[in-house]
Chain A
Amino acid sequence: MDVEAEIDRLPIDLLAHIFVLFTSFTDLAQASGVCKKWKQGVKESLARRHNLSFAGWKMDDDSTARLVYHAYNLTKLDIPRSRWGCQITDAGLLRISFAKCISNLTSISLWGLTGITDEGVVQLISRTRSLQHLNVGGTFITDESLFVIARSCPKLETIVLWSCRHVTESGLFALVDQCLKLKSMNVWGTRVPEECLNNLLICKSSSSDKSLKLDCMYRMAFKVLK
């Protein structure tokens, strides 16, 4: 039997290395149903992942939260709306926010999740510390979320607010004012008037290190007005 079960000799970390190569969550789930060692290997493979993208998968609150919980070393989380429609709700974001990896995340995408509101976004974002890239395009968030983003994400470099129709200039002002490293902001499809964007530029130009901030603001304004 020793010779036969050759794969059983492989250490768990090597099994995990094999499972990291799986592109499909289906295969991961199937592998976890083989034996206890493999189940552990699947968990460890999730813990090794730095990127987790659910693009194209029909994910619900429960399964998403469970996978994120196991992915301790995650730095990039992508939960966009899939062709199956929106399955993630505020309850899911709340559960995800308690995962160990959240404080280390540098990139979060919640693109097109129409089932989420300020409540869920606030819970999630308020627990992040290293966030640099945020995509909340196509959601129904308001300035309430933007205020929390401004407070909680000092390292924020890019933010996508594409088609966030409930966002106003006051939220954008808070972002520009507090996220000093902000380089680009996509506000295409929002109802923010052009004068407001000019006001943002003027507001920034009065800050101490003009050149850097102005450069940042011009790039931002270019992206916005393009």
Chain B
Amino acid sequence: MSEIDLAVIKPEMMKLYVWLQTSDDSIQQVEQEIAMFCPLICQEIIQKGMGSSKSCAICLPQQVSPAMLSLILDYCRFHQVPGRSNKERKSYDEKFVRIDTERLCELTSAADSLQLKPLVDLTSRALARIIEGKTPEEIRDIFHLPDDLTEEEKLEPLRNITADPRIRLLNRLYAKKRKELKERERLKLYIVLGLAAQFFCFFYQSCQTQVSISSVASIPKMHHQPLTKLNVEVEEEHVDERSVDDLLSFINGNDGDPKGVKTSKNKKKNRRKKEQQKSSSLKEESELNKKEVNGHDIRHQSSEAERISETLYLPYADDDTFSPKVEFDDGDIDDEIDPALKEKIDREVEDFARRLNSDWPERMQELLSSGQERETILFTTDGFLRRHAWSNCIVPYPVNL
């Protein structure tokens, strides 16, 4: 080639090449100008004089595979051209990162190892966009990540962002889960303690021939309750040494009077009296205020309490207030009412309710004028009386004053 020909060849036509060795030991020849866009390669060329031949190729980091290198070089090739507008660069970058997440992660890693900051920023932003707005479960699914956080770490409240309704909901859920975990732990503890208590009881039984009720009750409540829950029988059969008279008096509830039969007759008499009182009281309005509560509500409450204490086995189930042992003499009044009498009573109740409803506006006027607290008896649809306190408020149902 003559000097004239050499003079015609422009500097950009005389491309210099560098040799790069990727992670799979394959060696590629790349334009130096483009390769120098990566600070790591630039450093190797300038400081160590590497890459000039195939024998002394620049060894690229482990993260840079041939596929990733070609992607990175494409990026460098585009951005190295001087005359491009920002708009062009932006649109290229957007298209460039439209790849699947695995390749995007690989590209981020490769760009980072080559210290190519603009590309690291670009891919990181793309990854951030993928992650944003996702739950931990969704993120794990997308990136195939292991779930190595402990239950406690997972249920740690996300207190930083209580403004976000999703997180508030999540926190509530986490609180619930934490509670469940604690309950489970407590139940385990109860079972262990229950077994320990059972063992203790059997051991105690082997020492003494009789175990009194008080000895079982002396076991702390916390231990005793799970025993009842687990239906562990710990009491031995009692030998009662009391006389028949004492037992009769105990059954009748009288300390000294062992006349059990007489009391049962009295009960029947009381029932009849109460039936008569009930029917007559419905006829006479004036006596309504003096009438006592039927006992239905109380019985219902006690049975509810019994059921709750059985199922939930509350710590206060031993209290007198929740005791299921309370009996009511007049608990079964309605069972023995004659159907004809019952019909008559119901008719009278309906009639009375109708009368009340008809002059309701006038009564309301009276109520509003005299704004005092009064005890009133309200009628419900089942003709069944309840006592309420009137507290200066308008009630949208008939009230007898």
Contacts and interface: CB of A to CB of B under 8 A. Distances in A.
Partners in one complex: yes
Given A34-B136, A63-B160, A18 B128 contact: yes
B167 A36 contact: no
A67 B128 contact: no
Interface stretch (A1-9, A125-133, A152-160, A198-206): A1-9
Contacts of B158: 29-30, 33
Contact of A33 (B101, B154, B162, B166): B154
Given A9-B105, A58-B161, 19 more contacts: A6-B101, A6-B102, A6-B105, A6-B106, A6-B143, A7-B127, A7-B143, A7-B145, A14-B112, A14-B120, A18-B108, A22-B131, A27-B133, A30-B134, A31-B139, A35-B149, A38-B145, A60-B162, A63-B160
Given A6-B105, A59-B160, A27 B145 contact: no
A26 interface: yes
B327 to A, nearest CB: 54
A58 B162 contact: yes
14 contacts: A6-B101, A7-B143, A8-B143, A8-B146, A11-B112, A14-B112, A21-B128, A31-B131, A31-B139, A36-B148, A38-B145, A58-B162, A58-B163, A84-B163
Contact of B167 (A18, A26, A66): A26
Contacts of B145: 5, 7-8, 34-35, 38
A39 B102 contact: no
B347 interface: no
B132 A4 contact: no
A24 interface: yes
A6 B100 CA distance: 11
A62 interface: yes
A24 B132 contact: yes
A28 interface: yes
Nearest to B166: A26
A21 B125 contact: yes
A186 to B, nearest CB: 29
Contact of B128 (A8, A22, A25, A35): A22
A129 to B, nearest CB: 27
A222 B144 CA distance: 61
Contacts of B131: 18, 22, 27, 31
A26 B160 CA distance: 7
Interface string A174-190: 00000000000000000
Nearest to A58: B163
B10 interface: no
Given A3-B102, A66-B159, A18 B144 contact: no
A84 B168 CA distance: 14
B292 interface: no
A57 interface: yes
B132 A62 contact: no
Nearest to A87: B162
A8 B139 CA distance: 12
A10 B128 contact: no
Nearest to A4: B144
Given A18-B131, A22-B128, A30-B136, A10 B144 contact: no
B88 interface: no
Given A8-B145, A18-B128, A39-B149, A29 B160 contact: yes
B161 A25 contact: yes
Contacts of B343: none
A34 B139 contact: yes
B233 interface: no
A26 to B, nearest CB: 4
Is chain B's interface secondary structure helix, strand, loop, or mixed overall? helix
Contacts of A5: 143-146
Contacts of B136: 30-31, 33-34
A84 to B, nearest CB: 6
Nearest to A64: B160
Interface string A81-101: 010100000000000000000
Interface in A71-120: 82, 84
A42 to B, nearest CB: 10
B135 interface: yes
A83 to B, nearest CB: 9
A55 B160 CA distance: 13
B54 interface: no
A17 interface: yes
Contacts of B153: 36, 39
Contacts of A11: 112
Contacts of B268: none
B135 to A, nearest CB: 6
Nearest to A59: B160
A38 B148 CA distance: 11
B124 A36 contact: no
A59 B139 CA distance: 25
Nearest to B162: A58
Contacts of A7: 101, 105, 127, 143, 145
A9 B102 CA distance: 11
Interface string B373-398: 00000000000000000000000000
Contacts of B148: 35-36
Contacts of B294: none
Interface string B81-116: 000000000000000000001100110110010000
A36 B106 contact: no
